[in-house]
């Protein structure tokens, strides 16, 4: 069921052009070689135009763990995920619990996306969604887990 939901969200986001064409991570037909090529092309164009160039590379550690679920739901609503679809996603993301190993105390999870979930990649892309039309950045989500 999760894969079906993920497919529907992907179709919705792609058909409504909600992600930057410069976002390469976790998108069909796009890869890190294309992202690197876009960076090189941008640098070459800038240098060719005799302008200054600056590149900033960020590696966000524990990216999935930092997502505030309330804000994610608001962003989903903002891009047009509404009604039953929004309620289903909110339920899936918010009604999770975890047990702390030290004292076996159970607590509700209020931050973070489920690790290993195919839905989490879409949710992360939506969370990072900004008004990309004003950006000239190359966005490649590299969310490898670092031990």
Q: What is the mean pLDDT of residues 68-92?
A: 89
Pick the more confident residue, 129 or 32.
Answer: 32
For 20-44, the DSSP string reads -TTB-TT-TT--HHHHHHHHHHHHH
Please write the tens of the pLDDT for every residue from 63-79: 888 888 888 989 899 88
CA dihedral 130, 136, 140, 141 (to 10 degrees): -20
Question: Containing H/E element for 99?
Answer: strand 97-99
The DSSP bridge pattern shows strands 97-99 and 106-108 to be antiparallel
98-110 residue pLDDT tens: 666 667 777 777 7
- pLDDT at position 99, please? 66
Radius of gyration of the chain (CA): 18
Q: 48: pLDDT confidence band, cut at 50, 70 and 90? A: very high
CA dihedral for 120, 118, 145, 139, sign (positive or negative):
negative
Q: What are phi and psi of 111, to 5 degrees?
A: -130, 150
Query: Distance between CA 139 and CA 24 in Å, rounded?
Result: 6
What is the average pLDDT value for the chain, to the nearest integer?
A: 80
Give tens-digit pLDDT for 111-123: 888 888 888 888 8
Q: Are the CB atoms for 22 and 28 separated by under 8 Å?
A: no
141 pLDDT tier (thresholds 50, 70, 90): very low
């Amino acid at each position: 069921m999760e894969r079906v939901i993920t497919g529907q969200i992907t179709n919705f986001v792609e058909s409504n052009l909600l992600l930057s064409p410069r976002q390469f991570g976790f998108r069909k037909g796009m890869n890190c070689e294309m992202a690197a090529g876009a960076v090189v092309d941008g640098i070459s164009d800038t240098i060719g135009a005799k302008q200054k160039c600056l590149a900033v590379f960020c590696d966000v550690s524990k990216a999935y763990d930092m997502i505030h679920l309330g804000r994610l739901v608001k962003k989903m609503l903002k891009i047009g995920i509404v009604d039953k679809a929004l309620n289903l996603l909110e339920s899936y993301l918010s009604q999770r619990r975890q047990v702390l190993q030290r004292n076996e105390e159970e607590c509700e999870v209020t931050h973070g996306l489920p690790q290993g979930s195919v839905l989490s990649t879409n949710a992360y892309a939506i969370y990072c969604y900004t008004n990309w039309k004003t950006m000239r950045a190359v966005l490649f989500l590299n969310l490898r887990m670092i031990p």
